Structure 1
């Protein structure tokens, strides 16, 4: 595995807007993916997943929704941030992290 270089201050500053844009796009993408997955889990039901204060759902359903949503969100976030950092490195020659 290649070792990533430490970023210069200028690379970190230049990466901030790019990182913000990719994070927002990742959040939107994760939300869409979760809606699709939740619809399949609930056998085609439409609408939002159960929230923690909605009494018509069991605790098991609420916690399952939270686990699935969290897993999808953090998986998509990590993939998008990593891909964005690699793309930034290709464009600038510097790794934006560390």
Structure 2
């Protein structure tokens, strides 16, 4: 196993947890800007319309994907600086 891949394993685990927390916080703030009130709807919120539930899911997915990609890419760049090779 490559040294860069071995070095990146624990970094990747930590970055995954951090990216989840960042994405969750970003989604909460974004949803408050979109709706201006309360928490984002859950798929099982009976009183919420389909449009609102699907919009919340799409926004949450987009934010999570962007944050995850940015955090993983940053972690890979740091790993390359430390080990000299890109983690693959």
Report TM bin, short chain: over 0.9
Runs of at least 5 residues in structure 2 that lack an aligned partner in the other structure? none
SS in 2 for 1:18: helix
> Which residue does the alignment assign to 1:5?
none
Does residue 15 (structure 1) correspond to residue 8 (structure 2)? The answer is yes
Runs of at least 5 residues in structure 1 that lack an aligned partner in the other structure? 1-7
Runs of 4+ in 1 over 4 A off after TM superposition: none
TM-score (norm 2): 0.94
Check the 8 A contact 2:3/2:83 in 1, yes or no.
Answer: no
Alpha-carbon RMSD across the aligned residues, in angstroms, is 1.1
CA deviations 1:29-75 (Å, max 9, x no partner) are: 000000000011012x133x111111110000000000000000000
**Which structure has the highest helix share of the two?**
2
Which one of the candidate residues 44, 47, 51 is aligned to 1:53?
44
Correspondence 1:66-85 to 2 at 5 A: 66-85=57-76
